[in-house]
Amino acid sequence: MNLFVGTKKEKFFYHNTLLCLVKALQGQNTAIDLRNDSYVCGLISTVDGYMNLSLSNAIYCDPQGNEFSFENLFIQARNIRYVHVPESASILSTIKSELNKSPPEPDKKPIKKSRKAQKAYKQHMQTVASLGK
């Protein structure tokens, strides 16, 4: 299971941008166009919460057409123009399956609410129940 772990900001990006799609492409070969008109093809090994990518067995092609082979290559998110989604991957189903992965159960103690908060919660629940009738 490939669960997302990161800071609050990274989790926000994961759930509110297409970062989840790129994260789901982890372990697949893809092409990435860079802002300097070059591109990289390779196996996506890791994706962090800011969409920085690590590729293995990557081939970098510069704007002049020269190719360079790298065993491991790190690409900062700010240098990425496009990430090509492989034709074999359905975009919507890939996003849905990535977001539906169950998060780990936290080992937290239940938060004790004040009487005022309990009363407000009870009133909100009664209001919601009356709307359903």
State residue 8 phi and psi, 5-degree precision.
-60, -40
Q: Which residues pair with 74 in a beta bridge?
A: 54
Q: What's the CA gap between 91 and 72, in Å, rounded?
A: 26
The residue-averaged pLDDT of 68-80 equals: 96
Beta carbons within 10 angstroms of residue 57's beta carbon: 14
Tokens 């591109």 belong to residue: 39
| Order of strands across the sheet that contains 53-61 | 67-75, 53-61, 39-47, 29-34, 80-83
Using the Cα atoms of residue 13, residue 15, residue 18 and residue 22 in order, give the sign of their dihedral. Answer: positive
| Band (117; pLDDT cuts 50, 70, 90) | confident
- Better pLDDT: 122 or 69: 69
pLDDT at 102: 54
Sorted by where each starts, the structural domains of the chain and their CATH numbers stand as 8-103 (2.30.30.100)
- Per DSSP, 17 falls in state S
The predicted pLDDT at position 92 comes to: 87
Exposure of 25 by Cβ count < 10 A (0-12 exposed, 13-18 middle, 19+ buried)?
Answer: buried
Q: What's the pLDDT at 106?
A: 58
pLDDT bracket for residue 107 (50, 70, 90): low
More confident residue, 19 or 110: 19
For residue 27, pLDDT over 80 is answered with yes
Both structure tokens of 77: 């998110």
Q: Where are the alpha helices (DSSP H) in the chain?
A: 8-16, 19-24, 91-99, 115-131
User: With bands split at pLDDT 50, 70 and 90, how would you rate the model's confidence at 108?
Assistant: low
Model confidence at 1, pLDDT cuts 50, 70, 90, reads: very low
How confident is the model at residue 110, as a pLDDT?
65
For the cut 80, the answer to whether the pLDDT of residue 71 exceeds it is yes
Residue 38's pLDDT band, with cuts at 50, 70 and 90, is very high
